[in-house]
Structure 1
Amino acid sequence: MWIFLPGGSFVSVVEKASDVARDTLTVRARAASDLSELRAFLPSMPPIERGGGTDYAVRVVVPRAEFAAALGRMAGAIKYANFKDRVAETRGTGRARVLNTVWTIIRRLQA
């Protein structure tokens, strides 16, 4: 699952083989700052792991139920009418331009 958090951070959430028995999820990001925003919604989040031989620079492994509750808190944090405008205000126009590119590409699915 790809998720853009309310403040504009991007994470990818998957269930790796090692997550199955533990009922955990692996949350990956391109930048540690993106996982830092997640910590606001998931205070029990463990320290961020770096590297690991995959294309995502950072990751954490979290209990599935705690992540599910964090999603609810994320929904409660939405207080804006336009996501890209909010990101420009809080994270800068550079990140907003990247998100606009993603938005433009995904918009093609409407056709």
Structure 2
Amino acid sequence: MSIQTNRLSDPTVRAFVSAVNSHDQAAFQALLTPDATMADDGSDRNIADWADREIFSSNGHMDVESEADGGRALVVSYRNDTWGEMRTKWQFTVDDGKISRFETGQA
């Protein structure tokens, strides 16, 4: 059972999920601090390259299964055209309404 995006607790994370699912690259970028960082399976990645490859050019989509930590930790059924569907975990660091870091990986 997934959680509807509009019911996610943290407004910044909610906007992130919405941007991913609507493939809105401008909205996605606007949610990040200028020096935002990210990691995928424990390895730091370039956000722009990673987001283009894993989200925007491959039809990435997040179905949120559960949330914790006030909505800043998610378990997501994530799918894209490259990898198919997989269960992933996402952890967000939010500062003043912007994401300064997110980490994702297999759940």
Pairwise TM-score range, normalised by the shorter structure: under 0.3
More strand by share: 2
Higher relative contact order (CA 8 A, sep 6+): 2
Give me the TM-score of the superposition, normalised by structure 2: 0.26
More helix by share: 1
Which is greater in Rg? Answer: 1
Give me the TM-score of the superposition, normalised by structure 1: 0.26
